[in-house]
């Protein structure tokens, strides 16, 4: 850990306030966050729309890399945001 590096004490997303803008995905330095196709989230209890870390974790699927990992060669964060990166490149597989 480098001096000055900060880590959140609490990991949660409040879906009562989230507008699905994707800025958190864009800002994540390790590409650990991603958008999904789930956007119709509703519940009868407000508390259930505040997702804790355990609710947000998803297993790695085949072809996914354990973050942090370098970006796909020749790509930038826009390619990740638009979901254009579909597979890993051999040069990224530093943590496999
Ligand atoms: S998508 Fe991320 S940055 Fe945007 S409102 Fe939701 S949690 Fe906040």
Q: Where are the domains of the chain?
A: 10-96
27 Cβ closer than 6 Å to some ligand 1 atom: no
Q: Residues of 47-86 as b/e, b for ≥16 C-beta within 10 angstroms?
A: eeeebeeeeeeeeeeeeebeeebeebeeeeeeebeeeeee
Question: Cα(89) to centroid of ligand 1, in Å?
Answer: 28
Ligand 1, atom 2: closest residue by C-alpha: 24
Pocket test for ligand 1, best of 10, 19, 28 (most atoms within 8 A of CB): 19
Q: Considering only CA atoms, give the Rg of the chain.
A: 15
- Contact criterion met (CB below 8 Å) for 58 and 32: no
- Mind listing the pLDDT tens digit for each residue in 59-87? 887 777 887 888 899 998 888 878 888 88
Mean pLDDT of 23-49: 87
Ligand 1, atom 8: closest residue by C-alpha:
18
Whole-angstrom Cα distance, residue 70 to residue 72?
A: 7
Residue 5: pLDDT band (50, 70, 90) is: confident
């Amino acid at each position: 850990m480098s001096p000055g590096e900060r880590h959140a004490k609490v990991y949660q997303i409040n879906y009562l306030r989230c507008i699905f803008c994707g800025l958190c995905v864009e800002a994540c330095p390790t590409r650990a966050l991603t958008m999904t196709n789930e956007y119709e989230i509703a519940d009868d209890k407000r508390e259930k729309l505040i997702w804790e870390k355990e609710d947000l974790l998803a297993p790695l699927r085949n072809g996914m890399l354990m973050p942090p990992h370098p970006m796909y060669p020749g790509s930038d964060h826009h390619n990740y945001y638009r979901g254009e990166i579909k597979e890993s490149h051999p040069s990224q597989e530093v943590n496999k």
